[in-house]
Amino acid sequence: MSSDKTLKFPPGFLWGTATSPTQVEGHIENEWSNFTAQDGSNCRIACDHYHRYPEDIAWMQKLGTNAYRFGIEWSRLQSAPFAPLNQTELARYVDLLDRLRAAGITPMVVLHHFSNPPWINATGGWTNAATIPAFVDFVRQLVAALKERVYLWNTFNEPDTYACVAYLLGGFPPQLKWQLGKFRRVIAHMARAHVLASRVIRREGVMAGRKPEVGIAKNWTFFHAHKKFSPWDRATAYGCHYTFNKFVLDAFLGGWRRRASTFIGLNYYGRVRFHHFRAMIPASGASVKTLNDFGFVCDDMVERYPDGLEKILHYLRQKFRLPIFITEHGSASTDENFRANDLGQNLTALHHAIQAGVDVRGFFYWSLLDNFEWQFGYTKKFGLLAVDFSDEKLPRTPKPLAETYSKICQFNTLNKQ
Ligand code: FCB
């Protein structure tokens, strides 16, 4: 699969980009509409992908990608529990899918990405079990409408991150802190909804000649102790690993529940090390100087740990024996050399795992565009394309990394570093 200079990926490998509705679309009515991020910004216009998706699809085509992972925003489609889908908004998503097909780009549709309709939030969101049947009804109607156009369904994006940042850390709406009971309830309800939604998708979503595929996207972060022998560092790291990795994987994929998924989506960024109960990463406010002094390599969010990608892929394969998509990987930095290195190292780790027999079917770069990075606003630059948010036309400009990624996608090959 490779030569001295190049690493070749399997034939038919999906090379894509990823976005989410709240972060790119704009003109949305959900819990984020009135949320003010740390930089004073909001998501009301975001990248205006809502209107500019034809242009963005043209960019994807220019990049040479053959897949796109994006969310369908529940709040646009239903105004009340069990209401029929809004036909105008549905037509927009159908048009987007048709344009993707015309561009030779395979869609992966995400059904929940950190946002809910206002009427779901008003009744307690995912802490309320009544959200489960409402969500399944949304999925049933959507699958009936889109089954000819979509076969890759990603039910929940990072339930672990959502439940943690919304109910433990206070960063996402409803901005609650240390509500461990609510955290667990949200995960349990989402896991139940995943099983039920999967049944609907696999029974009713058969597209001409193609079986639907269903999975969640799990964020996998390695949690390590900064000082191996410090009981506090170790306890914090283990507590996080247990709560966000083990408990969440068990809830969605443990025992008989594994049968509700035909693939695993893995979102992988890196590692968090703990010192005196503090997460030593830029996203938690640790100073870049301190991190550099310790020799940690970080983007503007977390510590990079490319070797970890290979490890987690082997672990998931051995534990679940399901095909895997890397549903998100990317870095936030204004240093494009750093980003190119980071991508090269992570794709090398991915290639090693594939060579060793892990069945990985695709890779989605986070993100196509610089966008609204939740509580951090527009300060984190994850895009392959820069967006000038000071210009009301929101022009897109490819960054150097876009060209690097484009070559990888077009040749299905990574040049060895
Ligand atoms: C993931 C989220 C995505 C984006 C990236 C940077 O955790 O799924 O929306 O915020 O991180």
The answer to whether residues 32 and 43 touch, using CB atoms and an 8 Å cutoff, is yes
Task: Give me ligand 1 centre to Cα 23, in Å.
Answer: 9
pLDDT digits (tens, 9 = 90+) for 317-362: 999 999 999 999 999 999 999 999 999 999 999 999 999 999 999 9
Listed by start position, the domains of the chain span 6-415
- State if residue 244 touches ligand 1 by the CB under 6 angstroms criterion: no
pLDDT for the residue numbered 2 = 63
pLDDT for the residue numbered 236 = 97
The whole-number average pLDDT for the span 133-153 is 97
Q: Which of 25, 73, 158, 213 is catalytic?
A: 158
Task: Give me ligand 1 centre to Cα 219, in Å.
Answer: 9
The whole-number average pLDDT for the span 165-190 is 98
pLDDT digits (tens, 9 = 90+) for 89-141: 999 999 999 999 999 999 999 999 999 999 999 999 999 999 999 999 999 99
Torsion angles phi and psi, residue 219, rounded to 5: -75, 125
Indicate the pLDDT class of residue 1, thresholds 50, 70 and 90: low
Residue of 69, 165, 268, 328 best suited for mutating to test ligand 1, as the one with most atoms within 8 Å of CB: 328
Indicate the pLDDT class of residue 416, thresholds 50, 70 and 90: confident
The answer to whether residues 145 and 90 touch, using CB atoms and an 8 Å cutoff, is yes
Please say if 158 is a catalytic residue. Answer: yes
Query: Tell me: domain 6-415, CATH 1.10.150.120, correct?
Result: no
What predicted TM-score, i.e. pTM, was given to this entire model? 0.98
pLDDT for the residue numbered 142 = 98
How many whole angstroms separate alpha carbon 21 and alpha carbon 115? 9
Indicate the pLDDT class of residue 208, thresholds 50, 70 and 90: confident
3-state secondary structure at position 126: helix
Residue 274 tokens read as 């703990």
pLDDT for the residue numbered 209 = 75
